[in-house]
Chains A and B, each alone.
Chain A
Amino acid sequence: MEAINYQNFRIDAENICVDYNGKVALYDANLRLKPGQICGLVGMNGAGKTTFFNALTGFVNISKGKIRINGESVRSAQKDQTIAYVPQSDGIDSQFPINVWDVVMMGRYGSMNIFRCPRESDVQAVKDAIERVDLTDHLSTPIGNLSGGQRKRTFLARAIAQRASILLLDEPFSGVDIRTEKLISELFIQFKNEGKTILLSTHDMIHVREFCDLVLLINKTVVAYGETSEVFTPENITTTFGGISPDFLFGPES
């Protein structure tokens, strides 16, 4: 066994706690992910999935514990554009007057000057990203006119344009069409081969089995964490969902 070297971990969250005005949302949560790993984050609504994401991006402060991103602080991960967050469909205002190109360009803001003037390299990065999610025909389409799947792909393109090494995806498969689902799963394989680390929350058991090397089951704290084949058992799932059987939650597996 090699010695623990924190540089080896893309994400290293140790005993983290988050509370909002005294109300505990997450406690004693641990997570370690290496490059090229895909981890599923599974839990009920209100179990702390979004809070976990917020802690990793620095959107909320942790009250206890430690987070290292590539061995460094969350603050320097923000500065280095290390983490990209792909929001849930209802997490953004789809009526905002902005088109696909401008949303994807926002992925480059962090590395631009204060006026956010795109350089040639930024334009190229945005073009490439949009091409990878197959939205080249919709460059100037307002996001309000896109389908749910196309909108999801727009935000994925933003994460690609950001050139982040860690991707956090909040319910990437909810409300998307078959074509988008296929495209996202192809992209996951490419990301994995590029050595990116992916943490995704999902309600769908089948997606966990299909994509995730690792799974993190949470209910305010970690219920179980490990290789999907070992940890993603009916017993653990039942515990995570407060005693309700997975068949009832997801329908019987075929």
Chain B
Amino acid sequence: MELCSFLTLDSFITDPLTHDFMRKALLMSSLVAAVCGFLSSYLTLKGWALMGDAVSHSVMPGVVVAYALGLPFSLGAFIFGVGSVALIGFIKQKSRVKEDTVIGLVFTGFFALGIVLVSKIKSNIDLHSILFGSPLGISLSDVKQTIFISLLVVILLSIFRKDLMLYCFDPRHAKTVGINVLFLHYLLLTCLSLAAVVGLQSVGIILVVAMLITPGATAYLLTDKFDNMTIISVLSAIISSLIGIYISFWFDLETGGSIVLAQTFIFLFSFLFAPRYGIFKLKKFFAGYK
């Protein structure tokens, strides 16, 4: 029965749209993807992939505590996200342990705390949806939160777009000409925490780091201009989300995993065929691309 609808591309795309939950999932995931994709350019250029991993895992206990207390889960997640970064900075400064080790031990500690809390606080917390995301079951209050946070991050990144680029490229020059580097550092961290919070609804805590680094890495292979990199990153993130959700709908696959896999395939494609930096350098193929 279902296979029949595969016969036309038209119904492949339109059939899912008849379901309310699918329309909502597609819209929300695209929004989240756009936000994460935007931020992704900065994170990949700054070399903050591990930091993204740390923050996204560290929000776990925050989400659990917020649910238990009946608070917006984004608030709890944000506090623990920023808290983990502060703790990483503190331990790094006060001990001789190397930074990547500190990052690894802090975020796994936070994550473990989250898992223990879930098992202790008997409530209706769905561990599975936290870990793996549930874009198909997103609630109305979650929709409002997601839209609010997404807009906030997009506005902040847009205002400080050029300053953040300079901060990633040459913080010493930024400081020399009187730009507040410390502010930019915490701005980027704040945006990272917020993006992790909205991203985990789509793909879950475990995979949200992919949303924050894969689109940027893909774009980095395709262009030498920062603005283009941001645009490509956002577009590839949105496209991956749409592809992932459709695939998961038709083949009954885990949605978060499908989205991230779609991103990974787009990355692999540019890794192999990017006109300039790909393995096969298909310049002719992309002759019109500039």
The interface of chain A, by Cβ under 8 A from chain B, is 21, 54, 57-59, 75, 78-81, 83-85, 87, 91-93, 96-99, 102, 106-107, 109-111, 114-116, 142, 144-145, 158, 162
Please give me the 8 A-B residue pairs with the lowest Cβ-Cβ distance, nearest first. A110-B177, A78-B178, A142-B224, A116-B162, A57-B176, A79-B178, A85-B176, A97-B224
Min CB distance B182 to A, Å, is 12
A115 to B161 alpha-carbon distance, docked (Å) = 8
Which residues of A sit under 8 angstroms from B171, Cβ to Cβ?
A: 59
B165 contact set on A, CB distance < 8 A: 98
Contacts A/B (CB < 8 Å), 28 sampled: A21-B93, A58-B176, A59-B175, A75-B178, A78-B175, A79-B178, A81-B178, A84-B176, A85-B172, A85-B176, A87-B172, A93-B45, A93-B169, A97-B45, A97-B225, A97-B226, A98-B165, A98-B224, A106-B166, A106-B169, A106-B170, A106-B173, A109-B162, A109-B179, A110-B179, A116-B163, A142-B225, A162-B177
Distance between B2 CB and nearest chain A CB, rounded to angstroms: 44
C-alpha spacing A83/B45, complex, angstroms = 26
* CA distance in complex: A81, B176 (Å): 7
A179 to chain B, nearest CB (A): 24
How distant is the Cα of A75 from the Cα of B170 in the complex, in angstroms? 19
Residues 201-239 of chain B, each 1 if its beta carbon lies under 8 Å from chain A, else 0:
000000000000000000010011110110000000000
Question: Knowing that A58-B175, A78-B175, A111-B177 are A-B contacts, what are 20 other residue pairs whose CB atoms are under 8 Å apart, sorted by A's residue number?
Answer: A59-B176, A78-B177, A80-B178, A81-B177, A87-B172, A87-B173, A92-B170, A96-B226, A97-B225, A98-B169, A98-B224, A99-B224, A106-B166, A114-B159, A115-B159, A115-B162, A116-B162, A145-B224, A158-B173, A162-B177
CB distance from B281 to the nearest CB of A (A): 15
- Near A by CB (< 8 A), chain B positions 90-128 give 93
A102 touches B93 (CB 8 A): no
In the complex, the number of residue pairs spanning A and B with C-beta atoms less than 8 Å apart equals 79
A140 to B, closest residue via Cβ:
B225
Q: Find chain B residues with CB under 8 A from A80 CB.
A: 178
B178 CB to closest chain A CB (Å) equals: 4
Q: Is the CB of B177 within 8 A of A144?
A: no
A96 and B176 form a contact (CB under 8 A):
no
